Amino acid sequence: MQLKPYWLDTAPAFESGAVGSLPERCDVAVVGGGFTGLSAALALAKKGVDVVVLEAKEVVSAASGRNGGHCNNGTIKPFQTIASRLGEERAKTLYKAFDAAVDTVERLVAEERIDCDFRRSGKIQVASKPAHFDRLKTNFEHLKQGLDTDTELVSPGELPAEVNSSKFFGGLLYRRSAMLHVGRFGLGLAEAAARHGAKIYEKTAVSNVRAVNSTGYDIETANGVIRAENLFVATGADTEAPFDYLRRRIVPIGSFVIATVPLTDEFLDTVLPTRRTVVTTKNIGNYFRVSPDNRLIFGGRAQFALSSPKADAESGRILAKAMAEFFPQLSDVQIDYCWGGLLDVTTDRLPRAGQKDGMYYSLGYSGHGVQMSVHMGQIMADIITGQDSPNPFAGLPWPEVPGYSGMPWFLPIVGMYYKLLDRLT
């Protein structure tokens, strides 16, 4: 079992990174070389903006290259839950934004000719308990009223044709959802941004940021100091001390994934006949799909811990056991890859994007980052350059997490709470 991300191990190397010292100035400095930052850099460069990306490690080496490879529409929480808190119209706006986000990924794949096996596979959310199917049915009733007419309720009896497991009790199918090879997509996005003129500096961690009157920001890095007229922070769960306002509002939560050895089509027909992305309804649930080379990619929050070699290996064992419980035919299948990553989670599971004291930001995708990060990178590029592009998350209240300054000491308690909730509901 290799403790490294399958997506990054099977993607080409990024060959167009900038070399040498940083330039003295730029129009926009983007902090973070994941999907958000690269998408924004691509859009800005295509507008003729002098943009520099500052990445602490390698491009897409964090959450963007360490997820399950899903590109799903639909909000994390049921539509009616969001509507009860924010009102029906705002809930509809948010739902449509997640639809548009999948469209944005598809558009960029086509425009930049990125070879990443993008496919509108559809997503099925499967009920982990019989009572959960009733919740899915309620959500379906709301969505079919013109908001998402491409959804379809899958009865318990029909489910084996989609997900062949006795552990689930029906599902809700979202036909607009997709999947892709996130490693190849990320590297393709980086190459496209560089091709259009963005300067991407890897291994260039930001250590300090100073506002300089009306002339922008002095940004101190491991590779020198650069003055930027505008600053866009796209750091996700890896937000550090220079951006304390954001760090106090983002909780990093570990999510872990395993990948089997390649399997035959005939074997996979006994597991996932339709090859869709799949998510379960539990709070501490699982997500899975088939890779382009026929591996089962199976993930979840196996532990409420941050990723490390020890946590990844232990989580891999937990995930392999869960996978075999869902699909006994996989009990003896070899696990080839195991890895972990960090989700950037907000308390209400909705992203945040906007401007604070002149600094632009977009993060907090809470597990739906593949599509929304790309989409928000494009939107924030428009906003930075003065275009009237609608930000679906503008104006959402965002208080800091009480008693929290960047180290999530409370994760074990949160894990115990959600495990209890899953048992009782």
Q: Provide the pLDDT for residue 235.
A: 96
pLDDT at 49 over 90: yes
Q: At what angle do helices 182-195 and 35-46 cross, to 10 degrees?
A: 30
Is residue 286 situated within a structural domain?
yes
| Selection from 215, 209, 220, 203 nearest residue 27 by Cα | 215
User: Band of the pLDDT at 393, cuts 50, 70, 90?
Assistant: very high
Q: Which residues contact 241 (CB under 8 A, 6 or more apart)?
A: 247, 406
pLDDT at 59: 98
Q: What is the full DSSP assignment across 214-243?
A: TS-EEEEETTEEEEEEEEEE--GGG--GGG
Q: What is the dihedral of CA 223, 227, 230, 231, to 10 degrees?
A: 30
Distance of CA 192 to the CA centre of its chain: 20
Residue 425 lies in a domain: no
pLDDT band of 412, cuts 50, 70, 90: confident
Can you give the pLDDT at residue 182? 98
- 422 in a structural domain: no
- Identify whether 17 is part of a domain: yes
Cβ 152 vs Cβ 2: under 8 Å: no
The count of C-alpha atoms lying within 13 angstroms of the C-alpha of 311, restricted to the half-sphere facing its C-beta, is 16
**Cβ 158 vs Cβ 4: under 8 Å:** no
pLDDT for 409 equals: 80
Domain total of the chain: 1
Identify whether the C-beta of residue 337 lies closer than 8 Å to the C-beta of residue 9: yes
The CATH number of residue 340's host domain is 3.50.50.60
pLDDT grade for 132, boundaries at 50, 70 and 90: very high
Q: What percentage of residues in the chain have a pLDDT greater than 70?
A: 100
pLDDT at 27 over 90: yes
Please report whether residue 187 resides in a domain. Answer: yes
Pick from 99, 94, 27, 102: which is nearest to 352 by CA?
94
Measured CA to CA, the distance from residue 3 to residue 191 in angstroms comes to 26
Element (H or E) spanning 335, and its range? strand 335-345
Q: Looking at residue 106, what is its pLDDT? A: 98
Residue 90 included in any domain: yes
Domain that holds residue 167: 6-416
Task: Determine the Cα–Cα distance for residues 209 and 241; give it in Å rounded to an integer.
Answer: 10
> Has residue 2 got a pLDDT over 90?
yes
pLDDT at 418 over 90: no
pLDDT value for 84:
95
User: Once rounded to an integer, what is the mean pLDDT over residues 45-55?
Assistant: 98
In the predicted model, what is the mean pLDDT of the chain? 95
pTM tops 0.85: yes
Task: State how beta strands 178-179 and 70-71 pair.
Answer: antiparallel
Q: How confident is the model over 133-160, as a mean pLDDT?
A: 96
Q: Is residue 1 part of a domain?
A: no
Average pLDDT over residues 221-244: 94
| The pLDDT of residue 425 | 81
Which residue did the predictor score with more confidence, 284 or 231?
Answer: 231
Q: Worst-scoring range by mean pLDDT, 225-229, 331-335, 376-380, 409-413? A: 409-413
Average pLDDT value for residue range 413-425: 77
Q: Residues near 229 by Cβ (< 8 Å), separated by ≥ 6?
A: 25, 26, 27, 28, 215, 216
Is residue 14 a part of any domain in this protein?
yes
Query: Per-residue confidence at 404, pLDDT binned at 50, 70, 90?
Result: confident
Q: Could you read off the pLDDT of 179-192 as tens digits, one per residue?
A: 999 999 999 999 99
| Strands annotated E in 234-322 | 251-260, 277-280, 286-290, 296-300
Q: What's the mean pLDDT in 416-425?
A: 77
Give the model's confidence band at 304: pLDDT under 50 very low, under 70 low, under 90 confident, else very high.
confident
Q: Which helix (H) or strand (E) holds 152?
A: strand 151-154
Give me the amino acid identity at 67: N
pLDDT of residue 48: 98
